[in-house]
Homo-oligomer: A and B are copies of this chain.
Amino acid sequence: MISDLNTSTRFLLGPGPSMVPPRVLRAMASPLVGHLDPEFLRVMEDEQTLLRLVFQTKNELTLAVPGTGTSGMEAALCNFIEPGDAVLVAIMGFFGERLAEIAKRYGAQVDRLERPWGEVFDPAEIEAALKARKYKLLALVHAETSTGALQTGIPEIASAAHEHGSLLVLDTVTSLGGLPVEIDRWGVDVAYSAAQKSLSCPPGLAPITVNEHARQALQQRKTPVGSYYLDLIGLEKYWGEPHAYHHTAPISLHYALREGLRIVEEEGLEQRFARHRAFAEMLWEGLENLDLPLLVPAAQRLTTLSTPQIPATVDDALVRRRLLDEYNIEIAAGFGPLKGKVWRIGLMGHSSRREHVRLLLGALEDILMNG
């Protein structure tokens, strides 16, 4: 027989999932109604209203894809790519790589523009590439979870994309709800995110928003969308009229997301961004005092995810294991070229709190200074 579930109480200070507020856990545990129950349709309507608020958009086609962040990424690409389409991907880390990989699977001719992991693009560099060849779509990451770098200049990049006839698809997985994401003002055509980062909900839903321009492109496709499950036409017909069956929505996760978004609304976006900044700065100062300098220069640094460099004398895996086993703190390892070189410390949503920063710095001090 398999025993009772009995997991430890972790401080989740990695790249996600972040810590879920008790209110959200309670909402999630409500008894279920059906996925076509009029009461559930109202739950989804509320979610859409609140998602528009955090995306800072009026886009009608704003909903949550029934899967984790990666399903959002795949939906944002496969709905707008037809086999043979030219796609430009600006890559500065792991999730840029994943964008390129998924675009290829849907038959795109992918051109890659690359910066070393930890750096970001000068918008002029992207514009030059858009000028050199006609692309159906430009995809890039706003907040690179693998490096801790923030791509600035999104409005300029969006203008360049539109000037050259491309749609802009933006990954806001690690920014939405923790850093400003202004879909309408910036002119982003398609953006997606994930529930378990700065929105502090359990993983399993991927918010997405699509403007009218991209929606027209979707409606004008010559071929059906490659994936049925992620087909936005089907998803939209379920979320809106005629509320036609497409999939059985993950009811409990919607209860959770609705509650998590209510918390965002109550706190207010500006206050929430300021809180993320304040505790990130507290963390950065503490890390520097521990001789753990940050990989990314301050101007391009995410406040939601920080990447201190690991000194050569320190055993990466041992420190992470001791944090988990002795302090119940989760932080994450670096990926790819940053493996063994940085840690990834997330202060997202409910995890972004003074007491968590103080605890982590204290624990790191114990382990690094006192062995």
Contact = CB atoms under 8 A, between A and B. Distances in A.
A304 interface: no
Nearest to A9: B31
Contacts of A78: 227
B25 A248 contact: no
Nearest to A227: B227
A8 B39 contact: yes
A2 to B, nearest CB: 5
Interface string A35-48: 11101100100100
A334 interface: no
A251 B17 contact: yes
Interface in A77-105: 78, 98, 101-102, 104-105
Given A8-B39, A10-B33, A27-B5, A74 B228 contact: yes
Contacts of A180: none
Contacts of A20: 31-32, 252
A31 B19 contact: yes
Contacts of A194: 248
Interface size class of A (residues with CB under 8 A): 35 or more
B5 A203 contact: no
Given A37-B330, A50-B2, A226-B226, A247 B69 contact: yes
A115 interface: no
Contacts of A332: 34, 36
A2 B49 contact: yes
Given A17-B248, A68-B247, A252-B202, A7 B33 contact: yes
Contacts of A16: 248
Interface stretch (A118-126, A149-157, A258-266, A355-363): A258-266
A105 B204 contact: no
A85 B284 CA distance: 55
Contact of A259 (B5, B74, B102): B5
A71 interface: yes
A298 to B, nearest CB: 28
Contacts of A17: 32, 34-35, 248, 251
Given A25-B31, A28-B252, A39-B8, A70 B247 contact: yes
B249 A252 contact: no
Nearest to A40: B7
A227 B226 CA distance: 8
A219 to B, nearest CB: 17
A227 B67 CA distance: 13
Contacts of A70: 228-229, 246-248
A248 B14 CA distance: 12
A270 B71 CA distance: 37
Contacts of A324: 37
Given A66-B204, A105-B228, A248-B16, A253 B255 contact: no
A224 interface: yes
Contacts of A39: 7-8
A196 interface: yes
A26 interface: yes
A225 interface: yes
A224 B105 contact: yes
B33 A8 contact: yes
B25 A203 contact: no
6 residue pairs, one from A and one from B, having the closest CB atoms? A204-B250, A29-B29, A202-B252, A70-B247, A203-B248, A25-B29
6 contacts: A12-B33, A29-B29, A35-B203, A70-B246, A203-B251, A250-B250
